[in-house]
């Protein structure tokens, strides 16, 4: 059992003011003060990460946070209908995302901008969804092995489980060729653990021994409801009743999330079955830009978690080790600014899709009702004196 392997002396019951008193070990490899800790199981998982690789993780987190802040500004300026911040969850997402191999497959919920970044998705494409240009975002899931965002809570956890069952059928699990084998990782939040679909996913995954990693980002709040409204026990024990091993990891520690995800993925790929990971983290922003967290949580709580900022602790590690040169920091700052500017320009350039595209891809093959309504609307719009303009790119 993964969680049972840490000796009692290493237990860290580091919980937020809203979190459960816990009896489950928290895997942590990097303290909030930037000190490395040794762990018998997981330290070997990060031993190969040299200074460049650690700087890479830091760089990913900085870029994603800048993107996130830019998107928040765009929403405030009326350029996006809604924005879902990942602020504070960068370590959980970058650590787990970087532990994936190219042929692994990701099913995100809708806050996994950091994971999308690790899969090579252009972050600007994510905003197509939030600007109201495309429902699914602009990326090709097959190109990145990164599925579309799913807004219905926990619905995608079943798709992920089925996809993992498909990998099994395709002979891509436990083949003995680690380059060929693949696994699925599915992301969801603490609120999703209450949904039937997630629990059905755990049933299907367990009885089929599917190659899947359930990655729960417990960010403490499901909109205004604390985790204590979702469960009476730590979420990291959720797998127990299903026969699925659990791991609780410090979700603000990019090295630890990398290590536990790498281990769980390897287990899945080699035929060892599913793992449930609870990444204990904090949503530093609002649920979405429509939310007002000051109505339901305290300044003290915010301050507690600000002390555990995932980017800051990695910066302290790199600085302490002499691995963060002023030149690198300056270059990263310039890259982040360039990313933000590019995202802003791209989003503002996204026009209104032609009306006719509303009828595209409802079905894979023609459907008489859709076709007749498409034809009717085209004729109706053309009947106006300036009918052609309605199909144009203005909005």
Partner 1 sequence: MGTTERMTFSKAINAGLRRTLETDPKVILMGEDIGTLGGVFRVTDGLQKDFGADRVVDTPLAESGIVGTAIGLALRGYRPVLEIQFDGFIFPAFNQITTQLAKLSYRSRGRLSAPVVIRVPYGGAIGAIEHHSESPEVLFAHTAGLRVVSPASPADAFVMIQQAVASPDPVLFFEPKARYWDKGEVDVAITVTADAVASALADGVATDPAGVVALDRARVARAGTDLTIAAYGATVSTALKAAESAAAAGVSVEVVDLRSISPLDAETLIASVRRTGRCVVVHEAPVFYGTGGEIAARVTEACFYELEAPVLRVGGFHTPYPVNKLEATYLPGLDRILDAVDRAMAY
Residues making contact with partner 1 (CB under 8 A): 134-136, 140-142, 147-148, 150, 152, 155-167, 169-170, 196-197, 200-201, 203-204, 207, 360-370
Closest CB to partner 1 among residues 335, 373: 373
Residue 302 CB contacts under 8 Å (≥ 6 apart), including other chains: 284
Which sign, positive or negative, has the C-alpha torsion 13, 19, 21, 24? Answer: negative
Phi, psi of 214 (to 5 degrees): -85, 110
Least distance between partner 1 and beta carbon 206 (Å): 9
Provide the minimum distance between the beta carbon of 81 and partner 1 in the complex, in angstroms, as a whole number.
16
C-beta closer to partner 1: residue 172 or 279: 172
Residue 28 beta carbon to partner 1: minimum distance, rounded to whole angstroms: 33
Q: Whole-number minimum distance, CB 202 to partner 1, in Å?
A: 10
C-beta of 4 vs 369, nearer to partner 1:
369
**Closer CB to partner 1, 140 or 341, in the complex:** 140
Closest to partner 1 by CB, 201 vs 209, is: 201
What residues have CB less than 8 Å from 34, skipping those under 6 apart? 313, 314, 315, 316, 317, 319, 320
Rounded CA separation 76/290 (Å): 10
CB of 106 to partner 1, least distance (A): 12
Which is nearer to partner 1, 65 or 147 (by Cβ)?
147
User: Cβ of residue 161: shortest distance to partner 1, in angstroms?
Assistant: 5
Q: Which of 71, 109, 5 is nearest to 286 (CA)?
A: 71
What sections of the chain are H helices per DSSP?
Answer: 43-46, 51-76, 90-98, 113-118, 123-131, 141-144, 155-169, 196-208, 254-269, 299-306, 310-320, 326-348, 368-382
CB of 125 to partner 1, least distance (A): 12
Name which of 29 and 202 has its Cβ closer to partner 1: 202
Give the strand pairing for 184-189 and 212-218: parallel
Cβ neighbour number for residue 313 with a 10 Å cutoff: 23
Alpha-carbon separation of residue 207 from 169, 180, 202, 204, 211 (angstroms): 15, 24, 9, 5, 11
Tokens 């942590």 sit on residue: 28
Q: Kindly tell me which of 132 and 136 has the beta carbon lying closer to partner 1.
A: 136
* Structural Rg of the chain based on CA atoms: 22
> For residue 147, what are its two tokens?
């599925």
Residues with Cβ within 8 Å of 395's Cβ and at least 6 positions away in sequence, in order, are 351, 352
Nearer to partner 1, 176 or 366 (CB): 366
Encoding tokens for residue 61?
A: 């987190």
Closer Cβ to partner 1, 167 or 249, answer by number: 167
Least spacing, CB of residue 360 vs partner 1, in Å? 7
C-alpha–C-alpha distance, residues 388 and 392, integer Å: 7
Minimum distance of partner 1 from residue 392's CB (angstroms): 20
Q: How far is the CB of 8 from partner 1 (least distance, A)?
A: 37
């Amino acid at each position: 059992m993964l969680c049972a392997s840490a000796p009692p002396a290493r237990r860290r019951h580091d919980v937020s003011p809203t979190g459960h008193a816990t009896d489950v070990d928290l895997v942590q490899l990097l303290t909030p003060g930037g000190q490395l800790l040794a762990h018998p199981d997981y330290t070997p998982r990060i031993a190969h990460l040299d200074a460049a690789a650690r700087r890479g993780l830091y760089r990913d987190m900085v870029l994603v946070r800048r993107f996130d802040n830019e998107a928040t500004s765009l929403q405030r300026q009326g350029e996006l209908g809604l924005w879902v911040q990942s602020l504070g969850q960068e370590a959980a997402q970058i650590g787990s995302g970087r532990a994936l191999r190219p042929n692994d497959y990701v099913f995100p919920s809708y806050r996994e901008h950091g994971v999308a970044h690790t899969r090579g998705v252009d972050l600007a494409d994510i905003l197509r969804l939030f600007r109201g240009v495309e429902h699914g975002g602009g990326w090709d899931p097959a190109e990145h092995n990164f599925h579309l965002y799913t807004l219905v809570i926990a619905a995608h956890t079943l798709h992920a489980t089925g996809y993992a069952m498909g990998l099994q059928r395709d002979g891509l699990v436990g083949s003995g060729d680690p380059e060929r084998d693949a696994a699925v990782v599915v992301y969801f939040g603490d609120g999703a653990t209450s949904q039937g679909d997630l629990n059905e996913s755990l049933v299907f995954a367990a009885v089929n021994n599917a190659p899947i990693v359930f990655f729960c980002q417990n960010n403490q709040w499901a909109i205004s409801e604390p985790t204590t409204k979702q469960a009476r026990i730590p979420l990291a024990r959720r797998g127990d009743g299903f026969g699925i091993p659990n791991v609780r990891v410090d979700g603000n520690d990019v090295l630890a999330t990398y290590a536990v995800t790498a281990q769980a993925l390897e287990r899945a790929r080699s035929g060892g079955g599913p793992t449930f990971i609870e990444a204990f983290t904090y949503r530093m922003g609002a649920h979405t830009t429509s939310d007002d967290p000051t109505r339901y949580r305290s300044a003290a709580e915010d301050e507690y978690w600000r002390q555990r900022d995932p980017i800051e602790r990695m910066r302290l590690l790199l600085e302490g080790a002499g691995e963060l040169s002023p030149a690198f920091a300056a270059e990263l700052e310039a890259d982040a600014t360039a990313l933000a500017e590019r995202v802003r320009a791209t989003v503002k350039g996204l026009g209104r899709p032609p009306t006719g595209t509303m009828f595209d891809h409802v079905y894979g093959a023609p459907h008489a009702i859709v076709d007749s309504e498409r034809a009717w609307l085209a004729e109706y719009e053309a009947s106006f004196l300036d009918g052609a303009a309605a199909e144009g790119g203005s909005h």
